[in-house]
Structures are given as C-alpha cells and as structure tokens.
Amino acid sequence: MADTEKFRKSYKFFSEMEKSKKGFNLDDIAKATSWSESTVRTYISKKWDKIIKRIGSQYFVVGVLLYTEDEYVKLMSQVNRYSSNPHKPDLPTEAERMVIKARESSLLALDIFNRPATTFKTEGFIVMMFIAWTALFHAIFEIRGISYYYCKDDGDFEYKDGDKKAWELSTCISEYFGTVTSPIKENLKFFIGLRNKIEHRYVPDLDPYVSGECQSLLLNFDELMTHEFGTYYALRETLAVPLQTATLRTPNQIDTLKKFQGRQFNKLKEYIDAFRNDLPNEIYDDPKFSFRVYLIPKCGNHKSSSDITIEFIKYDPNNPDDMGKLEKLTTLIKEKKVQVANQGKFKPSTVTKIVSEKIKKKFTIYNHTQAWKLYDARKQGNSPDGCKYEYCQFDETHGDYIYTQEWINFLIKKLTDENEYNRLICYK
C-alpha cells in the first residue's frame, strides 16, 4: 500500500482522536495505518512532531484539524515546497502567476482607496482592480484549458508589441458569465463604462458617490478568488474598515469642489444615475452590485460586549423576522432634513419631567446631573466633544447641552428598577 494512502488513513485516525480528545499509543497508530511500529516511531519524531504531543505514556493530537486531508498529505511530503507550505494550492505555473498578480493588484487598489491623503482614489482603485479582475479571469481560463488570446480569421494569434494579445476585461466577462444577468456582472460593466469616462478626467468628488460599488467590486473579487482557488489567496484576513476623521464635507468644501470640477463631475454623475436607473430593482438592491451599510454606534453594557468595534450582518432573505428588524432599524436612522433647530432634543428640565412621570418617582435636575455623571453620558464643562452623541449634544448657540429621546428612554429603563434608582440617588 502506498505511503500516501497510509497518510490518509493516519489523517482520519488523528482527526477522530483530536475531536474526541482521547489519548492513544503507538500500537493504535500502527493498527490504523498498517505501518510497522518502528515506522510509526520515525514519523513521531520527524513529521508528526507538529501535531502530536506526548503526555506521560499517552499521545494526543493538537492541530491536525487545521489542515484538510490533502493539505495534511502535503505536510507529510518529503518534497520541501509541499511540506513547508501545505495550505498553498498546487497550481500550474502560469495560473499561479496570474493568481498572484491578481491578488497583488487588488491589494494595491485597496491601498490606494484607503490612503487618506490621496485624492485620486476612485481612478487609481479602478485601474488596479481592472488588472486584478483580468488576471483572475485569465487564471481561471488557464485552469479550465480555455485559450484567452485573440485569434485572426485564419486561426493564428493576434500579436501586439510582439506578444500574443490577451482578452481584455469585457471579453473575459462575456466568456465567464455568458448571457446570464447577475449583480456581479452588472457591477463590472458599471466600472468599465465609468473607467472609460474618467480616463482623462480628474474628479475627486466622485469618491463618495461610488464607494458602495467600489466595495462590491472588491468583495466580489475576493469571493470569486476563494471560490476558484481556495482561501489561501483570499484577501479577507487583510481587509479592515479604515478609520474615519470626518463624516461629511462642509458646504464650503462641496461648493469649492463643484466649481473646480465643473462639467466633468456633472457628466460622470449623469452616467452613474443613468446606469443605476436602468437596472432592475433586484440587481440594484443586491449588495453584490453596491455594498451599502449604515455605521451605527455600538453601545456595550460591559467591556467584553464591545470587543468587536464593527460587525457586518449578512442579509439573509430566508430569515424574514431578523431582516424585518434590520429594515426597521435602517428606517430609523435615515437622515431626515427638516428646517427646525434641535428637533427631537430636550433641555434637562424637560428630561426630568418626562422621566419622573414615567418612573413615578422623584427625579430632579440634581438627579439628572447625577445620572449623566454615573452613566458617563457627557463630560464636565462645556465642550462639543464631551458628549456621547446618541444621548446628548452641545448646543453651540446657547452654550449648553441638549438631550435625546434615546437618553430619556435609557433613563426610564434604568430607573424603573428600584435598586438602580437607589444607586443613582446615593451617587456622589
């Protein structure tokens, strides 16, 4: 029996042992694999030292489940390029080159878009992502045995600058997707049209208008890379939400940009709006066409509940109850433009009156001061950055603080509890 088959038997045995957390001896391995005990001893001291630990007279498996069966066989190989990196897929040389090129190009695209001082974000991102997507398609075609070069009518290859002319992205899309309509395909077509229009333009104000489509372009790429070539080349471990220092440009900044960019921006905006309007709703609303999120401050009741600053919740149409809650939430946080100053905000005196009526207990201005100190709703003094904005805001016009409905709801919920109410009253 070949060693490879015996290694596969040992993988099954070790997997069962790790799952059950049971100990075993050399004879158990020999019986499971058909190796002699001397051969087992050799592997214990050489190949299996990464996954087997000895405790007393027993052996225990730690870590074999980190490998698939094929990866484990590579780990056991005598060939160093396999055993040193068993997670790496075994690809033909040309396909591997294309995959590495695709991955590196996508990382460069990500770096360009997330670089804070760069004003050429969308343009640079699109160029590098086009290289990434084209290389990825070429790698897929290479594996499938599909020639991705243009041919003349006589069957000979077309050449450009001495090299065979390879399919550009639009041809790759047609070959891969065929006539099927999908949000991934429409996302790519959107950027092909946009690339053609921005090639000779400089329009930095374009970035916020297409950031959702840019995010989808990257996520779709990573998903296809993983689907075709496994998780080894995936980007997901390197992706992070960039830190933000501002949420909106000021009116003066917007006016300045519009004057600077003039007709160039208007032409691009017309293309973007027209493309989106022509899409069926099911495509436009799909996150694979445009990834849209609301970033909502996450309040933890204790330290451990806030370990993950940002969580992405995948849309699941098969779970209508949870999705209904999300839809209600997004409705609540949609921006409402009403020309009323401090709409939905309350002075401390109003807060105390509402809370006192709801909890049916005494709740004075002094108690309110105790509350914002106890629950850390804001800092001492008059400072715009001293608030937890979901609870209070600084009114610059009047030089004081105003409070939100969320703050009132929070106090009512807390102080309805008798022990919590007494804790507040006694707080110094």
Given 33, 55, 83, the domain boundary residue is: 83
For residues 15 and 69, state if they share a domain. Answer: yes
Angstrom distance (rounded) from CA 269 to CA 197:
11
Among candidate residues 376, 248, 244, the one with its CA nearest the CA of residue 310: 244
Burial 246-283 (b: 16+ CB within 10 A, else e): eeeeeeeeeeeeeeebeebbeebeeebeebeeebeeeb
Indicate left, alpha or beta for 155 from its phi (over 0: left) and psi (-120 to 50: alpha): left
Domain hosting 144: range is 93-243+278-284
Structure tokens at 153: 């009518």
Residue 363 lies in a domain: yes
Q: How many domains does the chain have?
A: 3
For residues 60 and 103, state if they share a domain. Answer: no
CATH of the domain at 17: 1.10.10
Residue 319 lies in a domain: no
> pLDDT of the chain along its 428 residues, tens only?
457 898 999 999 999 999 999 999 999 999 999 899 889 988 888 889 889 999 988 999 999 998 889 889 988 888 887 888 888 888 899 999 999 999 999 999 999 888 877 777 888 899 999 999 999 999 999 999 999 999 988 889 999 888 899 999 999 999 999 998 899 999 999 999 998 887 766 665 677 788 889 999 999 999 999 999 988 888 876 665 554 444 444 555 555 555 545 556 677 778 888 888 888 888 988 889 988 765 555 555 554 444 444 555 555 556 666 656 555 554 444 443 334 445 567 888 889 999 999 999 999 999 999 999 898 888 877 666 677 878 888 776 666 788 888 899 999 999 999 999 999 988 87
Given 83, 102, 130, the domain boundary residue is: 83
Angstrom distance (rounded) from CA 215 to CA 212:
5
Angstrom distance (rounded) from CA 413 to CA 410:
5
Residue 256 lies in a domain: no
Residue 263 lies in a domain: no
Structure tokens at 227: 């689907």
Burial 128-152 (b: 16+ CB within 10 A, else e): bbbbbbbbbbbbbbbbeeeebeeee
First to last CA, the chain: 79
Angstrom distance (rounded) from CA 175 to CA 134:
12
Residue owning tokens 């937890």: 388
Residue 314 lies in a domain: no
| Angle separating helix axes 183-198 and 169-177, nearest 10 degrees | 170
3 state SS of 286: coil
Angstrom distance (rounded) from CA 134 to CA 157:
19
Structure tokens at 351: 């807060």
